Amino acid sequence: MNKVKKSVIFTIIFAILVLLTTTSLADVNLIVNDIDVAVNGTEAKLEWSKASGATGYEVYVDLPAIGYQCVGKVTGNKVTILGFDEGEIYAVKVRAYNENGVSSTYSSEIKFITGENAQTTSKLGEVSNIKAISEGTTGTISWDGVKDANGYEIYASVRNSEYIDIGSTTSTKVKLIGMDEDEVYSIKIQPYLKQNDKKVYGSLSNLAILKYEEENVEYKKPDKVTNLQKTINNKNVVLTWNSVNNVDGYQIIVQTPGKGNAEFYSSTNKISLEGFTAGCTYTAKVRAYEYINGEKQYGDSSTSINIKIEEEKEKTKLDKVTGLKVKMNGSQATFSWNSVSKAEGYELSICIPGTGPDTIVTTTGTSKTIDGFINENDTYSVKVRAYATENGEKIYSEEYSDIVYFQKEKEEAKLDKVTGLKVKMNGSQATFSWNSVSKAEGYEMVINIPGYGNTTTYSTSTSKTMSGFTNEDYNYSIKVRAYVTENGEKIYSEEYSDTVYFKKEKEETKLDKVTGLNVKMKGSQATFSWNSVSKAEGYQLLINIPGYGTTTTYSTSTSKTMVGFTNKDYNYSIKVRAYVTENGKKIYGNYSDTKYFKNNEIVEEDKEETESNSKLAQVTGLSVSRNGTKATMSWNKVTGADGYEMVLGIPGYGNSYKTLTGTSTTMSGFTTTAYKYTVKVRAYKVENGRKVYGDYSTIKEF
């Protein structure tokens, strides 16, 4: 029969899908189905069924005027894609891959619309029960209707071309004419529905096959495949067999131990398979098929052959080279790196711009000096890997070292680093100074002002005074480098000086010296007074007690009365200074002149107590409550008493006396916990102008 080209009813050339000749055993499980697309404006959310054994998924988008592009990889079975143009129709498909890098076939394609009219895609059912009947040069395709579908698009493929949309129909049956005698046509049907005058698509159907067939011809099944052979190269297996006349292709069945059979197809008498597990024994057989009325008619299977990949012996693994360094001396480069365990030598790959492939140099040491890097404008690079020899073959480390870039040293003025940088503050004014650098024409100063960034200024001398550092809270900084001018260009020292930080000097409050210090004695009681000092918040009194040292107390007024100066032989002394508190810290003025004083009366407790017709009772109920540096003393009232005398024992300083009319008092200044204070109280009444005392209370420690 003459082979005559016939036109197709839709005037679009058919294309046939040809199976790839390299297939992986893992493909059988890595199938992605049921893609759903939800569109919101220019954003699309994809979700699909999980593929057994998948490590991750590649997502492809059919971009207008560009075609399908991989837009990314994900490990889960959902992803959101942004940045689509409004009003466009896009298509997506997904394929899975496993940890060995083996990829599945693509999923069915899903189309969707973006923009204002975008809606969540309606998930149409897949076309089912598709049938193909060949009638000479014509063929009929029929299928079951899909619920909610408004119509169907027909896609055809012949030979190695992609599927082409050859038209649409609202029925569930279509007739195609003009088939060539020697061609096999693959047909897919895709349902769609209309939303806002746009087509929203479901998934493509399974294949329907059409092939020219003469009427009333009796067909016999294809011959048995013979001479099945295998060639094993590492984990790749190539199967070949004798061709069978007048068939459309071959089915290859591989039995995987413990997992059943895997099916592969080829249009030629050869197929390459990969993904075998070393040490396992697989069984393979092949049979031919021919399409008759859209169905595959198989011949008998070939004799089976066994496939076993021998386990590879573990090769020496060399670590990645680290610590690669380049030291230049004019046009000469010295390369050095850290040694690698088990390495016999090293291979240097040097890139010289404009000279083609990298220059390869080998060495058995961990350094190599090479000359000839003469171009100052070129940027050279080097990388190194280790090697060892096994069975006469070099085994290299899996990856090179990190790449190091280098250039010929330019012969230019080299300026030393600036040293000795100092900053001297005077209020908001700073004077910067540093050591001179040989050959320098001047210096660049980079000053950092917090919140404003860096400001740059220059000086031809080794010092510069600047003002304006007004913020006491800022931590300013400065660094300096030298420069010289060559060919109208400033050449700087390779690095700046060390950075120096500085602050505006805080203007502390200055308090005047206390004047007018006076002491008025009354027995063991001293009243100190002095002139007030401007801005003072209070005053510090420093009292010297011979034989005991000094004691410090404070007053917020310009006088203070204290008791306990009981020793008539002591020459006590006092000096006073003012203070103010800034940032939680006391700022003091100068001390007053020192004032000396003595007990000028007979101490009350040394006087012989006058007999009384009515002796006072002993004080009872003495208690002490301490809170930090404060202590509150209280006791029971004594009948007939005019007042009370409290004796406070301060270890190392002696006793302090205080006269009270009430039965409680609060005192501060108990600043230590290293020793215990003591207190006792007695009542008194005045008779004939003299004090008559009762007995002391029990002594309390605190």
Residue-wise pLDDT for 519-566, tens only, equals: 998 888 899 999 999 989 999 999 998 877 888 999 999 999 998 888
Distance CA 343, CA 319 (A): 9
Residue 9 confidence class, pLDDT cut points 50, 70, 90: very low
Write down the pLDDT at residue 605.
Answer: 36
Residue 654 confidence class, pLDDT cut points 50, 70, 90: low
Q: Do the beta carbons of residue 307 and residue 278 sit within 8 Å?
A: no
Distance CA 137, CA 157 (A): 16
The count of other CB atoms within 10 Å of the CB of residue 52 is 11
For range 35-45, the mean pLDDT: 81
Give the tens place of pLDDT for each residue, 205-214.
777 787 766 6
Write down the pLDDT at residue 480.
Answer: 96
Residue 465 confidence class, pLDDT cut points 50, 70, 90: very high
Alpha helices in 358-451 (DSSP H): none
Q: Do the beta carbons of residue 641 and residue 662 sit within 8 Å?
A: no
Distance CA 101, CA 94 (A): 15
**Predicted TM-score (pTM) above 0.95:** no
The count of other CB atoms within 10 Å of the CB of residue 496 is 18
Per-residue pLDDT at 335 exceeds 80: yes
Q: Do the beta carbons of residue 700 and residue 648 sit within 8 Å?
A: no
CATH classification of 325-406 is 1.10.3720.10, yes or no?
Answer: no
What CATH architecture is 608-701? Sandwich (2.60)
Distance CA 195, CA 190 (A): 16
Strand ranges (E), 83-150: 89-97, 110-113, 131-135, 138-142
Q: What is the CATH number of domain 1-216?
A: 2.60.40.10
Beta bridge partners of 597: 572
Beta bridge partners of 634: 623, 664
**Is there a common fold for 229-308 and 518-597?**
yes
Q: Class assignment of domain 422-502?
A: mainly beta
Residue 231 parent element (H or E): strand 229-233
Instruction: Specify the range with the lowest mean pLDDT, choosing from 16-30, 279-293, 377-391, 605-619.
Output: 16-30
Give the tens place of pLDDT for each residue, 636-652.
999 989 999 998 888 76
* Domain boundary assignment for the chain: 1-216, 229-308, 325-406, 422-502, 518-597, 608-701
Per-residue pLDDT at 420 exceeds 50: yes
Instruction: Specify the range with the lowest mean pLDDT, choosing from 19-23, 103-107, 173-177, 233-237.
Output: 19-23
Which of 579, 610, 614, 572 lies closest to 594, judged by CA?
572
CATH classification of 518-597 is 3.30.70.380, yes or no?
Answer: no
Residue 664 confidence class, pLDDT cut points 50, 70, 90: very high
Distance CA 107, CA 54 (A): 14
Per-residue pLDDT at 120 exceeds 70: no
Fold of the 229-308 domain: Immunoglobulin-like (2.60.40)
Distance CA 333, CA 352 (A): 13
